[in-house]
Chain A
Amino acid sequence: MQLQNSSMSNQVVIQNWLIKQLAEQLSLDSATISITEPLTRYGLDSIDAVTMVGDIEDVLDVELPSTLFWDYPTIEKSSQFLAQNYDLSNLNNKADDAHVLEELEETGIEATNSSKGWGGLFSRIKGA
């Protein structure tokens, strides 16, 4: 039961994080994103979906199948797959925006203009 609970909450956390990613990347209002709609509905192309796997791997620090968003093409399905198959026990901490930002900046290049640093990813998280 314990396990199921934690995987449930992991799923919700990653779901919310993915919504935020998509909303900011594609300049959409996060309220309009439904977790059950295929990601392509929002203009995300197949190759972009592969690139996004890389972003998520970075933050979660796990190696994922490159076809993750092809095989699980909605936010609901991919979050469920992630929560069930990966140890994301520190996800709650990681999904804390300030923490993630700090971690990314530690690893990133010292961008002179940090508000633009790491392109979409940094500004998205900062803006969140």
Chain B
Amino acid sequence: MHPLIQYRVAQLLEQDLGDPNHLESTLSFKKVIELDEEEAFPEAELNWLYNWHLQDYYVPVDCGGKFTNFEEFLALVRVLSRRDQTTGIAFTTMFWSFLCWMAGTEEQKQKLAQFMIEEHGTMCLGYSEREHGSDLVNGGLTATKVPGGYLLNGEKWPINRATRSGVTFVLARTDAEGGAKGLSLFMIDKREISNSEYYNLPKILTHGIRGSDMSGIGFNNCFVPDSMLLRQEGDGLEIGLKGFQITRTLCAAFAQGAADTALRTTLNFALKRVVYNKTVFALPQPRKTLVDAFLDILICDCETIGAARGFSVIPEQFSVWSAVVKYFVPTQLEKMVNDVYVVLGSRFYMRDEHDCGIFQKVLRDNSIISMFDGSTVVNLHALMLQFRQLTKYRAKRKPETMAEIKPRLATIFSLQQPAPNFEPEKLELFSRGADDSLQGLEIALQQLEDLRQESNVNQETLEKLINLGKLVLDELNVHDELIAQSKFEFGHEQSPELFEIAKKYCTLHAAACCLHMWIYNRQLLGEFFASGEWLVLSLHRLLRTIRPMPYLISEVYLENVAQELVRLHRENKLFSIVPIQLAQSEINKQEDQTNAITELVHV
């Protein structure tokens, strides 16, 4: 069993699902590709997951489920998405239930919990409309008050699982005048509204996640009782935006699952394929590309796992952190998938050649993550509107502020510490300028300095980390000066330049998360993690996108990271700072019979 308890369930699910390369396993690559070719909804696969009781982990403990913290939840979604994003996304529309856990009455929560756990029910989220995508406030679907409830009119589209879901969360206009208090959120139980008053829109043919039930839902004078309204009339936008803070953060797990498969299948190829009498992996350029891809995953781990834990510690800062994660992780990993396909060569484009053509599917499926649930631009925009306050707050920090940030960072980033319970009522629409991760950068630098006294730390590596850490701080100061001197504008007509500045902020944020993650877990996550060489390369990789840096910082480090990558591949472990044991792989069994026998023993 995994020593970190929050990773045990994911490892259990992983083992029970079995090796995706094994043709007979649940969610095998062969099977998910067939389903994709047929554009068929993964009905049997989802049933398997229900019977496994995965849905319990979407329902908080105090509502009768098994959800305890987001770190555990992310690992589960990752295990699922490494096999198939279509299934992962279809099952995980259940995470919209957080709207109810967050804003529902006791009665609404109990009802939804029972629906999910016992009746294998699921839900969808109806925010977007054909005429209004990102522009939620101007949505056109109306809910008109009548005695005992509301009459709904209008359509939501494109909606994932709109047809195949029992509960639909709908954002509707309750005030014809519009405005921020003009929207309300309904949790509509389809069993309790009249069949004749709603309809579903036809399946939409999509580029990726082709088996998904992408459709829509429309209402014609549809009566919904008052009991389906979440909180008060007019609270829809607030609940919606706070709900996004949760779901946007969780979206990172889809991308991370996909990234693991993209890299793993490319390695399956690169380690075997011989060109010029050498394996592809033995050639310096592909080797470096694959190491960089591995680093991208580790960087995103620090950002995502940090955020998942941060949720319970600093929920009031998540208008910032969720926007950073939802922008940074999916785009970084999308780029990573694009980088490694060069190594896979022509096979990346084939739908049935290498590893059943899973790479091609990953490439297509994964590209939706940065779009849905708030696109890249929407998240950057949400972030930049808070820049002025972030900068001002950072400039105003006093020693007492820093003294408060320090223990919070320790709780967020020490994976061994239990994360406190998540309290959704503490979410806020803006973070009042606080962003512990970047504003605690000086704390991290001091901690690095203190490590100069530690005998178990390689001083040369530490020196490099200190230097790179200082560069991150320099860049953050440059950022703050830039913001302090620029003219702030409200609204949607932000300059393209500010979008670039926002991207840099996210990069610095990721760098800070990497540093914190290392500092608090050096003793916990094994030798490779502790050595910090991956961290040197990661910080260097991030900084290179912001300022001119030498191409390579250390050939030895690169080689050591390459060795670790090969080891994780051989031992079937997740590419992660928490490399959980994956199901035994057929591929490696053939490769190395002796290894396989010892590895068959479950952890």
Contacts and interface: CB of A to CB of B under 8 A. Distances in A.
Nearest to A25: B490
16 contacts: A45-B490, A45-B491, A46-B180, A48-B490, A50-B430, A51-B430, A53-B430, A54-B389, A54-B432, A73-B181, A108-B484, A109-B391, A109-B395, A118-B388, A119-B485, A120-B487
Interface string B176-196: 011111000000000000000
Interface in B443-483: 480-481, 483
A97 interface: no
A119 B488 contact: yes
Given A40-B178, A73-B181, A57 B392 contact: no
A70 interface: yes
Contact of B485 (A66, A111, A121): A111
Interface in A73-128: 73, 107-109, 111-113, 116-121, 123
Interface of B: 137, 177-181, 237-238, 382, 385-386, 388-389, 391-392, 395-396, 428-430, 432-433, 480-481, 483-492
B231 to A, nearest CB: 12
A119 B501 CA distance: 16
B43 to A, nearest CB: 40
Contacts of B137: 45-46
Contact of A116 (B432, B486, B492): B486
Contacts of A43: 491
Contact of B432 (A45, A46, A57, A71): A57
B180 A67 contact: yes
B18 to A, nearest CB: 46
Q: Do most interface residues of chain B lie in helix, strand or loop, or is the interface mixed?
A: loop
Given A48-B385, A57-B432, A107-B396, A70 B487 contact: no
Contacts of B429: 50, 66-67
Given A46-B179, A47-B382, A73-B179, A111 B430 contact: no
A66 B133 CA distance: 24
Contacts, number: 96
Nearest to A54: B389
A52 B430 CA distance: 10
B73 to A, nearest CB: 26
A29 interface: no
B432 A63 contact: yes
Contacts of A108: 392, 395, 484
Given A111-B481, A118-B484, A26 B490 contact: yes
B180 A73 contact: yes
B318 to A, nearest CB: 12
B230 to A, nearest CB: 16
A48 B491 contact: yes
Contacts of A66: 428-430
Contacts of B432: 54, 57, 63
A51 B223 CA distance: 36
B487 A58 contact: no
A10 to B, nearest CB: 23
A38 B179 contact: yes
B180 A113 contact: no
A56 to B, nearest CB: 11
A63 B432 CA distance: 9
Contact of A121 (B238, B428, B488): B488
A40 B481 CA distance: 31
Nearest to B480: A109
Contact of A71 (B181, B391, B480, B492): B181
Task: Kindly name the residue among A25, A47, A120 whose own CB sees the greatest number of chain B CB atoms within 10 A.
Answer: A47
B488 A120 contact: yes
Contacts of B386: 51, 54
Contacts of A119: 388, 483-488
B237 A121 contact: no
A120 B385 CA distance: 13
A49 interface: yes
Contacts of A26: 490
A107 to B, nearest CB: 5
A98 to B, nearest CB: 20
Nearest to B316: A66
A73 B429 CA distance: 16
